[in-house]
Amino acid sequence: MPELPEVEVVRTILEQELKNLTIKDIFIYYEPIINGNVSDFKNALLNQKISHIERYGKFLVFVFSDVVMISHLRMEGKYYIKDKLDTTKHDHVVFLMSNGKFVHYNDTRKFGRFEILKRSEYLKKGPLSKLAAEPKDISFDSFYQAIKKSERAIKTLLLDQQVISGLGNIYVDETLFLSRIHPLKKGSRIHKDEAKELINNAVKVLNKAIKLGGTTIRSYTSSLGVTGLFQNELYVHTKEGETCPVCKTTIKKIKVGGRGTYFCPNCQVNTKIIGLTGGIASGKSTASTYILSKGYTVIDSDFIVSNLYQKNQEMLSEIASTFLIDTKDVTFKEKLAKIIFNDNNKREALNKIVHKRVYMMIEDELYKHKNEPIIFIDMPLLFEVAYQKKCDQTVLIYTTREIQLKRLIERNKLTKVDAKKRINSQMDINDKKMLADVVINNCDSIEKLHQQIDQFLEEINK
Ligand SMILES: [Zn+2]
């Protein structure tokens, strides 16, 4: 199947051969290949001179003085330039040019399409209007926003011509390999720096492929006398069972959105994110410490929050101006707690200021540890802020309200009334139990807690 580099090679050759020539006759053997009325198509092009040929993604655009002819090669579209009319079974359109040559459009699967549009509006109407820019031209922000808001696999997103254009199956696999990103990683989990790497690597891969005349794989060989050589440069695509050139791990093949997808399971890890939560005094911290001791990365959201309050001047000044409070005052956090305690609007305003920064720092941590297959995020208010949607699995350290109360009174030296107040300020632990994927019961001894965690770790590593 032709991809951007192959179409670019075709464009270069066609432009060299056809620029400034006039179309003298058109023979159409398979009418459905023309979008719109066939005689309108002929009338629009007859005696028109080709000014130049453009390419957008995988679309070729023949530009005339008033109109353009868009040619979408799809799966198997090819051009041949011949000295005489010499059609085969799969030639569907032939153009006679003013130099006496015949341009044959050949398409074994008949998926290709031609369309005439006015030159003044072909980028605003028709198929090109929906096309995103290609890697070398795309604005980083529009690309990053498009993938960030999506839960689709990054492989599928990179193939979507409305997200980024010109990347087909071969070049997406190569780009993901060079960026060390698993093809199934969700768009929403792509870190900003990874998005930058994706664009840079896509540009590199495509430029190199264009230089080498594209890739000649199976069905698509350039009909215009050019044999692509990029297949000799492939790292992973079509390399199932061979060893990764970086780490020697065996390259795997999977299906993503129906497309054969090749990757190195060691270089391209799709981290499983596990949210760890509990109620107040339910033993979550004990569990978290134990998981950490087993060699897992545990991202501690409380630690991130307290770090932000200590060091993030931008956040502190946003809090100062929103709540008219002096953040340099040593008792500022108690004052802030009082302000938001009985005011839901103010609590939400504060959450908005703090949470977006916490999430960004969690993303940075995940990016730092992107080669680890399993990472835990320890977050007390995980369900309250609906963070479960960003996790693959959630684990609740559960204990009864009675034990919570008893531990809180002993540990924090609180009165029963104050302890109850603290417990009631959070979502009820029994509601959390309903939301969690895995519940670890911590009503018994610490040994029992450790045992259950061991069992869980064994389970997720299977
Ligand atoms: Zn590898």
Averaged confidence pLDDT in the chain: 92
CA of 251 to the centre of ligand 1 (A): 8
pLDDT for res 227:
65
Q: Which carries the bigger pLDDT value, residue 54 or residue 127?
A: 54
The neighbourhood of ligand 1, an ion, using CB within 5 A, equals 244, 246-247, 249, 264, 266-267
Does residue 52 have a pLDDT over 90?
A: yes
Domain covering 272-460, topology: Rossmann fold (3.40.50)
Homologous superfamily, domain 4-130: MutM-like, N-terminal (3.20.190.10)
CA of 412 to the centre of ligand 1 (A): 50
**Res. 225: pLDDT tops 70:** no
Going from N- to C-terminal start, the domains of the chain cover: 4-130, 140-263, 272-460
* pLDDT for 220: 43
As a whole number, mean pLDDT of residues 150-169 equals: 94
Predicted local confidence at residue 218, as pLDDT: 41
Residue 222 has pLDDT above 60, yes or no: no
Note if 338 is an active site residue: no
Q: Are strands 252-256 and 259-263 parallel, antiparallel or unpaired?
A: antiparallel
Average pLDDT over residues 253-277: 97
The 3 state secondary structure assigned to the chain is CCCHHHHHHHHHHHHHHHCCCEEEEEEECCHHHECCCHHHHHHHHCCCECCEEEEECCEEEEECCCEEEEEECCCCCEEEEECCCCCCCCEEEEEEECCCCEEEEECCCCCCEEEEEECCCCCCCCHHHHCCCCCCCCCHHHHHHHHHCCCCEHHHHHHCCCCCCCCCHHHHHHHHHHCCCCCCCEHHHCCHHHHHHHHHHHHHHHHHHHHCCCCCECCECCCCCCCCCHHHHCCCCCCCCCECCCCCCECEEEEECCEEEEECCCCCCCCEEEEEEECCCCCHHHHHHHHHHCCCEEEEHHHHHHHHHHHCHHHHHHHHHHHCCCCCCCCHHHHHHHHHHCCHHHHHHHHHHHHHHHHHHHHHHHHHCCCCCEEEEECCCCCCCCHHHHCCEEEEEECCHHHHHHHHHHHHCCCHHHHHHHHHCCCCHHHHHHHCCEEEECCCCHHHHHHHHHHHHHHHCC
State the pLDDT confidence band at 1, using cuts at 50, 70 and 90: low
Task: Identify the pLDDT of residue 139.
Answer: 96
Cα 362 to Cα 173, 302, 396, distances in angstroms: 27, 11, 19
Residue 215: pLDDT band by 50, 70, 90 thresholds?
low
C-alpha–C-alpha distance, residues 233 and 227, integer Å: 14
Q: How far is the CA of 265 from the centre of ligand 1 (A)?
A: 7
| Catalytic site residue from 259, 346, 357, 406 | 259
pLDDT band at 326 (very low <50, low <70, confident <90, very high): very high
Supply the pLDDT for residue 221: 44
pLDDT of 156 higher than 70: yes
Could you tell me if the ipTM is greater than 0.90? yes
Q: State mean pLDDT over 32-50.
A: 96
Concerning whether 3 is annotated as a catalytic residue, the answer is yes
Share of the chain above pLDDT 70, in %: 96
pLDDT computed for residue 4 by the predictor: 82
Whether residue 116 contacts residue 40, with contact meaning beta carbons closer than 8 Å, is answered with yes
Per-residue pLDDT tens digits for 56-100: 988 999 999 999 999 998 878 889 999 999 999 999 999 999 999
Is 58 among the catalytic positions? yes
User: Identical fold at 4-130 and 272-460?
Assistant: no
How far, in Å, is the centroid of ligand 1 from the Cα of 437? 32
For residue 253, pLDDT beyond 50? yes
What is the reported pLDDT for 414? Answer: 86
> Mean pLDDT: which of 332-346, 368-382, 418-432 is highest?
368-382
Question: CA distances (Å), 166 to each of 42, 64, 70, 152, in order?
Answer: 29, 24, 15, 19
- Predicted confidence (pLDDT) at residue 228 exceeds the cutoff of 80: no
Whether residue 387 is predicted with pLDDT greater than 60 in this model: the reply is: yes
Confidence class for position 219, pLDDT limits 50, 70, 90: very low
Per the CB < 8 A criterion, the answer to whether 267 and 246 are in contact is: yes
**CATH architecture of structural domain 140-263:** Orthogonal Bundle (1.10)
pLDDT for position 438: 97
CA 283/CA 397 separation, integer angstroms: 7
User: What pLDDT does 224 receive?
Assistant: 64
